[in-house]
Structure 1
Amino acid sequence: MQLKVLLPSEIFFENDDVERIVAETREGSFGILPHRLDCVAALAPGILTYQETNRSPVYLAVDEGVLAKVGMKVLVSVRRAVRGTDLGQLHDAVKQQFLTLNDQERQVREALRKLESTFAGRLAEFSRER
């Protein structure tokens, strides 16, 4: 199978010799073999495993995204991804990259919440003045 992993700004990974794939959704993990029916799945943050023909499994830590299988092509589109062959090192890399970004996202969301709250309060005041 051909596996292509896309990030918002680049093609993260591409391989034309993939034998099997295991991906995670919110409902659990599922496997993809070459002759599986075409499908689309919403991916949960987790580990995507793929194996090249006659090789050891390789692991990708992925953020939430979408997986689509059409024929022998599997396209994965996620916000972030980290590649590794050792799950321990991959775990450390995920903690370093993903959790830092999650803290930044929380700060941005909090700032937006405060901005919306202030805007809503001023809009309510304006409506009462009329």
Structure 2
Amino acid sequence: MIGKGSKISSILKGSCPKCQQESMYVNKNPYALSETLKMHERCGHCNTKYKIEPSFFYGAMYVSYAVGIVFAVAAFVISYLILGTNLKVAFISIVGTMVVFMPVIMRLSRNIWINMFMSYDKNLVKS
């Protein structure tokens, strides 16, 4: 289910949604902050153009909000409900989580957004 060909695989790895052969990003490390959102123009393997239209990834901002909520709720559940901290500490853990994971959230959001519009094509993969 999470192997090659699934949208989840492409989203988590940041690979081309069409062939899943290579990363869409210039630098695979999201914490290289100057290059967090720098993407290749096209896939080197299948020549898929990533920016379907100008400002295509503005829609990823809406996805980013939802992904951020998931991270914030996870931080709250872990700190307040599991570890038993008070609300002040839980709030600080939410803020800390959002700051630390912001590059990951931004990339995940882009990956989800592009995978909503493109699907894996097994004919592009050479054996």
TM-score (norm 1): 0.26
Structure with greater helix share of residues: 2
Is the strand fraction higher in 1 or 2?
1
* Greater Rg over alpha carbons, structure: 1
**Greater relative contact order, per chain length (Cα 8 Å cut-off, separation 6+):** 2
